């Protein structure tokens, strides 16, 4: 039996614990304009599944232990599911399909839908479970689908160079490379020792400006917001990074840690980040789950200047990259932090630089553009996915950023304000890297005036009205306005007053009084 990789094992156990869910789905939606050869597309997807064993692998268990079982391509492919929809129905149809729950024990981790709006307009949705792929995988997947479709459209089979290895080979290599933790000279033993020291005393969770308390069990419901750092700021960040011997990602990491510190997260800020994990060129053309997660711990104590903080981040990050081979899943087992169903272990905020090869789709005879596809989930409290953009000359052209956030704890307006504060911090530090963190202004336009002249304005007449009286006045002014929000729903001021009065009558009836 073929074992799972360390990363796959964690997803498999989560799947077994929680059942099928969309939390680890990776949707890719493409709008296709022109006449599509659906038979050629279906055949091309079968070809791609045949080329990549990871796409036709199921994960059954024997004696309580999971293993990989590779199916034949013809048996694995569920077929291209074709649906007719209107443009108005499209977004909901994509979201519903993207939330499909894979049964990893019996179903291959790739499915495809074709949503047809007309004879010349459709959207292809490819849905990959994370157990079989990562961000880097989109490039070889795109390349192979394009090549196979072009060949099948001409009545031919694709002519590919054979892949040098398959994912199951990597699974076995990984264990041989890491060695036995009982061997003090093994890679695993030496790198685990580093992480034990580096993460000793790590805070269980980071205090963030939540809109509501964290639930006892995370629902993984989420949403997303997009923003873009303009080319001028990107250019300034690049210059600052170069002068500091750092990278743009390190500057962004330092700025994020500084902002969270100023917002009350404390002086010990752990951020999660990903590394490609493709340590051999033979792995570059594979669709598979290779990415590893690092915990980048940032010490912001002592009110350092931003330059000093960036130096700390650089030193910590370079050391982490030198010890990147220990699978995050194994690190969690070894460190055994206090487990909670309410939040992610070791970190709750992730900052990821998307530096994978471009996964562009150029299908012959068709205009192809990307369509929005979301699963409505979030694995972390916050995850910032950063993509640096450059123009034809290689000059910085902006940083596109997608922020996924947990709707268990955040409202969109709070996340948008957090993003605006991050941009505010970046604009200050590129102009003066010597600023101490305490001098960073994290207030947005209008907030200072509101705090000083509004909320803190004591020069107003004070009413003698009691709190219950003020509440009753509000009920009279706006009985239908939302008065309280909880996980169970919302109550208007009128509904809240009615419930409070019922409770008061019950208490009085039982003899409770002043």
Q: DSSP per residue over 484-505, as a string?
A: EEETTEEEEHHHHHHHHHHHHH
Q: For residue 273, which of 254, 294, 290, 299 has the smallest C-alpha distance?
A: 294
Q: Clarify whether residues 493 and 394 are in a common domain.
A: no
Q: Please answer whether residues 23 and 129 qualify as being in contact, where contact means their C-beta atoms are separated by less than 8 angstroms.
A: no
- Would you say residue 109 has pLDDT above 80? yes
In the chain, the percentage of residues whose pLDDT exceeds 90 is 73
Tokens 């990307």 identify what position?
A: 370
Q: Please answer whether residues 383 and 352 qualify as being in contact, where contact means their C-beta atoms are separated by less than 8 angstroms.
A: yes
Tokens of 479: 């009985």
Q: Please answer whether residues 130 and 26 qualify as being in contact, where contact means their C-beta atoms are separated by less than 8 angstroms.
A: yes
Residues 128 and 167: their CA atoms lie apart, in Å, by 15
Q: Clarify whether residues 165 and 183 are in a common domain.
A: no
Tokens of 155: 């009545």
pLDDT-derived band at 195, boundaries 50, 70, 90 = very high
Q: Residues with Cβ < 8 Å from 413, sequence gap 6 or more?
A: none
Q: How many domains does the chain have?
A: 3
pLDDT, residue 67, reads 96
Residues 186 and 399: their CA atoms lie apart, in Å, by 39
The number of beta carbons lying within 10 Å of the beta carbon of residue 175 is 14
Q: Clarify whether residues 42 and 96 are in a common domain.
A: yes
Q: What is the mean pLDDT of residues 122-127?
A: 96
Q: What is the mean pLDDT of residues 322-329?
A: 94
pLDDT, residue 1, reads 86
pLDDT, residue 359, reads 62
Tokens of 80: 């291209």
Look at strands 349-353 and 57-58 and give their pairing. unpaired
- Domain final residue pick, 392, 413, 444: 444
Look at strands 65-66 and 482-486 and give their pairing. unpaired
Q: Clarify whether residues 16 and 88 are in a common domain.
A: yes
Tokens of 503: 């409770």
Indicate the range of 38-47, 92-101, 495-504 predicted with least confidence.
495-504
Q: Clarify whether residues 154 and 191 are in a common domain.
A: no
Q: Clarify whether residues 99 and 197 are in a common domain.
A: no
Q: What is the mean pLDDT of residues 53-71?
A: 95
Q: pLDDT of 430-447, one tens digit each?
A: 999 999 999 999 998 878
The domain spanning residue 81 has which CATH number? 3.30.559.10
SS (H, E, C) 95-135: HHHHCCCCCCCCCCCEEEEEEEEECCEEEEEEEEEHHHCCH
The number of beta carbons lying within 10 Å of the beta carbon of residue 320 is 18
Q: Please answer whether residues 222 and 407 qualify as being in contact, where contact means their C-beta atoms are separated by less than 8 angstroms.
A: yes
Q: Clarify whether residues 199 and 315 are in a common domain.
A: yes
Q: For residue 256, which of 126, 143, 401 has the smallest C-alpha distance?
A: 401
Say if 489 falls within a structural domain: yes
Q: pLDDT of 475-491, one tens digit each?
A: 889 888 888 877 677 88
Length of the chain: 514
Tokens 């980071």 identify what position?
A: 206
- Would you say residue 206 has pLDDT above 70? yes
pLDDT, residue 462, reads 66
Tokens of 258: 């500084």
The domain spanning residue 250 has which CATH number? 3.30.559.30
pLDDT, residue 460, reads 65
Q: Clarify whether residues 324 and 383 are in a common domain.
A: yes
Q: Please answer whether residues 41 and 32 qualify as being in contact, where contact means their C-beta atoms are separated by less than 8 angstroms.
A: no
Q: Clarify whether residues 164 and 205 are in a common domain.
A: no
Look at strands 222-229 and 396-406 and give their pairing. antiparallel
pLDDT, residue 304, reads 98
Distances (CA, A) of 384 to 271, 286, 379, 417: 11, 25, 12, 14
Record the pTM. Answer: 0.86
Domain of 477, in residue numbers: 467-509
Q: Where are the alpha helices (DSSP H) in 323-461?
A: 328-335, 412-431, 447-449
pLDDT, residue 165, reads 95
- Would you say residue 357 has pLDDT above 70? no
Distances (CA, A) of 442 to 160, 222, 263, 454: 54, 25, 8, 18
Tokens of 324: 């990147």
Strand partners, 57: 70
Q: Clarify whether residues 395 and 260 are in a common domain.
A: yes
Look at strands 81-84 and 110-118 and give their pairing. parallel
Look at strands 367-371 and 25-33 and give their pairing. antiparallel
pLDDT, residue 358, reads 65
């Amino acid at each position: 039996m073929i074992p799972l990789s360390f990363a796959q094992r964690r997803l498999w156990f989560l799947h077994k614990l929680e059942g099928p869910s969309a939390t680890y789905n990776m949707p890719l939606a493409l709008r296709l304009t022109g006449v599509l050869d659906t038979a050629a597309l279906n055949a091309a997807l079968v070809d791609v599944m045949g080329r990549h064993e990871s796409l036709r692998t199921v994960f059954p268990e024997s004696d309580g232990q999971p293993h990989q079982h590779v199916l034949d391509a013809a048996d694995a492919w569920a077929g291209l599911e074709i649906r007719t929809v209107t443009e108005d129905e499209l977004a909901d149809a994509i979201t519903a399909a993207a939330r499909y729950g894979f049964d990893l024990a019996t179903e291959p981790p790739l499915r495809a839908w074709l949503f047809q709006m007309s004879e010349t307009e459709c959207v292809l949705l490819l849905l990959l479970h994370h157990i079989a792929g990562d961000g880097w995988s989109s490039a070889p997947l795109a390349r192979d689908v394009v090549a196979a479709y072009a060949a099948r459209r001409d009545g031919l089979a694709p002519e590919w160079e054979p892949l040098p290895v398959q994912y199951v080979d990597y699974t076995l290599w990984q264990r041989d490379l890491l060695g036995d933790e009982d061997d003090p000279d093994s890679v695993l033993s030496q790198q685990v020792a580093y992480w034990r020291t580096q993460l000793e005393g790590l805070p269980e969770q980071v205090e963030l400006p939540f809109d509501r308390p964290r639930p006892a069990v995370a629902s993984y419901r989420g949403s997303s917001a997009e923003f873009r750092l303009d080319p001028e700021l990107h250019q300034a960040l690049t210059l600052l990074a170069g002068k500091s011997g750092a990278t743009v990602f390190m500057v962004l990491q330092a700025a994020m840690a500084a902002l969270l510190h100023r917002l009350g997260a404390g002086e010990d800020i752990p951020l999660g980040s990903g590394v490609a994990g493709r340590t051999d060129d033979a792995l570059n053309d594979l669709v598979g789950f290779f990415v590893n997660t690092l915990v980048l711990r940032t010490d912001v104590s002592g009110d350092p200047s931003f330059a000093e903080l960036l130096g700390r981040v650089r030193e910590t990050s370079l050391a982490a990259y030198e010890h990147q081979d220990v699978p995050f899943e194994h690190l969690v087992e070894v460190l055994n932090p206090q487990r909670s169903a309410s939040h992610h272990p070791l970190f709750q905020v992730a900052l990821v630089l998307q530096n994978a090869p471009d996964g562009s789709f150029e299908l012959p005879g068709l205009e192809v553009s990307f369509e929005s596809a979301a699963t409505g989930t979030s694995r972390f409290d916050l995850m910032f996915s950063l993509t640096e953009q450059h123009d034809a000359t290689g000059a910085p052209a902006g940083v596109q950023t997608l922020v996924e956030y947990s709707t268990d704890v955040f409202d969109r307006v709070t996340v948008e304000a957090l993003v605006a504060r991050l941009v505010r911090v970046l604009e200050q530090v590129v102009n003066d890297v010597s600023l101490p963190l305490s001098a960073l202004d994290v207030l947005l336009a209008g907030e200072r005036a509101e705090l000083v002249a509004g909320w803190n304005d004591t020069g107003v007449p004070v009413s003698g009205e009691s709190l219950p009286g003020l509440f009753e006045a509000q009920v009279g002014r706006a009985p239908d306005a939302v008065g309280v929000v909880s996980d169970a729903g919302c109550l208007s001021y009128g509904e809240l007053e009615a419930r409070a009065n019922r409770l008061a009558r019950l208490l009085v009836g039982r003899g409770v009084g002043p």
